[in-house]
A and B are shown apart, each in its own frame.
Chain A
Amino acid sequence: MRGDDLQKRAATAIVWLLLLGMPFWLPAIGGYTELGSRVVVLGLAAMSLNFLLGYTGVLSFGHAAYFGLGAYGAGMTLKYLVPSTSLGILVGTLVGTLAAAIIGPLIIRLRGVYFAMVTIAFGQTFYFIAFRWNTVTGGDDGLIGWTRQPLDFGFAKIDILHNPVAFYYLILVLFALATGCMAWLLRSPFGRTLLAIRENERRARFLGIPVDQHIWISWVISCCFVSLAGALYALLNNFVDPRALYWTQSGDFVIMAVLGGMRSFWGPLLGAAIFVVLQDYLSSQTQNWMSFVGLFFVLVVLFFPRGVLGIIRRRAAA
């Protein structure tokens, strides 16, 4: 037990060392800082999805909706309300969380494939709103004409717009807050209850646990952090378009979580890293990158259903 604990801490330490040093070692191996930022942002989204998928056992296939709402919330705040990055992030996160909280009661009683289907379909609603409401959202062309603004603390100003490394560290700080919060929740009695629901929902129900309520809370928490990731994604690109809300984006998040390993806390981050780098590489090499991404999905399902970390762990145990 102690050895296991030690191993976990060592893994966490390695992850943080790699993340903190990313702007230094990534360019050395041919990457660029924006790529690192994208990995961290999409990794946050995948980890938030995994809070629901891997730790509560609820199959959501519509998380792109809340990711996109976070993105549009942030972008529209900066464009129409106030040019403030921190406020944009706040509003984006709130919008996504609120939408999830409202939709939650409609779906928490559904399970399995049915839950997946309904979450996808609800996600499409927001896609069509963003796609059709041209005057406000820019429609298919996306929301343009705004940029993230320098952070102003009064005593110091940080130019996150022109300095990608500074922006990377801002993302990392928020990533640390979000993942820290999720890790803390998972270690709390509430998190243990979620695991109990995942392992045996009927038994949890017989023990008197209000299962639907727990799933609703887990759903809202998961969507909250996904909207945060969406807000950061918008700021990273200085642009949002309806594809951030499209159902294929939801599929990308799920594959990231599965690829890295659903039963491990850091797995989805690793999955996001592999996915982002692969997509970046493929789309620069071939026009038919979609086929390769599709093939990649098929291969992961057939040969790596436990994910990279799942396989490593199994090897270590054997």
Chain B
Amino acid sequence: MTQLVLFNVFNGLIVGAFYALMALGLSLILNLSGVINFAHGGFLALGGYLAFTLIPYVGFWGALIIAPFLTAILGLIVERVLIRRVYGRDPLYSLLLTFGLAFMFEDGTRYIWGAQSLPFQVPGWLMAPLSNEYFFLTGYRLFMVLMVAIAVIGLFMILGYTRLGIRIRAGTLDLETVSVLGVNVRILRNLNFGLGVYLAGLAGVLAVGQLGLQPTIGASLIMPSFVAIIVGGLGSLPGTLLGGLLIGVASGVTTVFFPSATEAVMYVMMAAVLLVRPRGLLGEEGRF
């Protein structure tokens, strides 16, 4: 029993790490540009599929580096061509625009790579269990947690110590002033969008090793990411991270005791948070 609980907690932590990684990207874009990027799931799936296509040529490690970058470049283009046009308009339009994009992404991946699930090769030595007693502790799972941790630390380093990151944070607080101070806000938003999409692409490459490669993988991960942002608190990246891990572990634990409520539990958590603390766990007062 202890082992079962531990297994599911660990599993939940991994899934929660994906939610968090994806939600962090969503949060970045939402905070700076006020756009909810429905197409984020599509970018995630694309990251996974690109890695699948690249592996025969550059190997797993090459794909892990290249695929998220390619995804991010596509993100930069999409922002430049489409999303930029709806900034400053009613949020309704950015929602509908990215919603349409999400449809096109999902259908596009289905068109190119097929609707059926594809096998995703992870280096064999990573798949072996590390311990006989705790069979679920494979190298790949630890590796995923490690990669997510590196990505998150990297993101916070960028935001904390680089010029780009400082501008993003300043823009989140007051974009107009940043613009007046001579920062090119168009480029800033563009790069910020790319950074968010990069995180989605990275989450995609890591997630397909664990969850399998299907066109619907993006759609299935995007809703929990929303919940992660709401639970953690809008406008707070540490909150988003916390929210993602929390709902992941909560659904993991629920799987043990009441399997059919695995998905529902995170929405119950969200309702509870909204009831007790409408701004979310670490959210700022009065931001929305």
Contact = CB atoms under 8 A, between A and B. Distances in A.
The 8 A-B pairs of least Cβ separation, nearest first, read A297-B100, A294-B103, A294-B104, A125-B267, A290-B107, A114-B288, A291-B107, A128-B263
Nearest to A255: B96
B275 A106 contact: yes
A116 interface: yes
A301 B97 contact: yes
Nearest to A305: B93
A109 interface: yes
Given A258-B96, A305-B93, A129 B264 contact: yes
A65 to B, nearest CB: 11
Contacts of A118: 230, 270, 274
Interface residues of A, number: 44
Interface string B83-121: 001100111110111011111111110110000000000
Contacts of A251: 96, 99
Contact of A121 (B102, B105, B110, B223): B223
Contacts of A103: 271
A268 to B, nearest CB: 14
A19 interface: no
Interface string B22-66: 000000001000101000000000000000000000000000000
Q: Classify the interface of chain B: helix, strand, loop or mixed.
A: helix
A106 B277 CA distance: 10
Interface string A108-126: 0111111011101110110
A162 to B, nearest CB: 36
15 contacts: A106-B271, A106-B275, A107-B274, A109-B278, A120-B223, A120-B226, A121-B226, A121-B270, A125-B271, A131-B263, A288-B111, A294-B105, A297-B96, A298-B100, A298-B104
A109 B286 CA distance: 11
B200 interface: no
Given A59-B95, A121-B230, A125-B264, 6 more contacts: A109-B278, A133-B260, A288-B110, A290-B103, A295-B104, A298-B97
Interface of A: 53, 59, 61, 103, 106-107, 109-114, 116-118, 120-122, 124-125, 128-129, 131-133, 247-248, 251, 254-255, 258, 288, 290-291, 293-298, 300-302, 305
B227 interface: yes
A269 to B, nearest CB: 19
A254 B95 contact: yes
Contacts of A258: 92, 96
Nearest to A289: B107
Interface in B214-263: 223, 226-227, 229-230, 234, 260-261, 263
A129 B258 CA distance: 13
A288 B264 CA distance: 31
A159 to B, nearest CB: 39
A112 B234 CA distance: 13
Given A254-B95, A290-B103, A132 B36 contact: no
Given A124-B223, A128-B264, A251-B99, A294 B93 contact: no
Contacts of A111: 288
Contacts of A107: 274
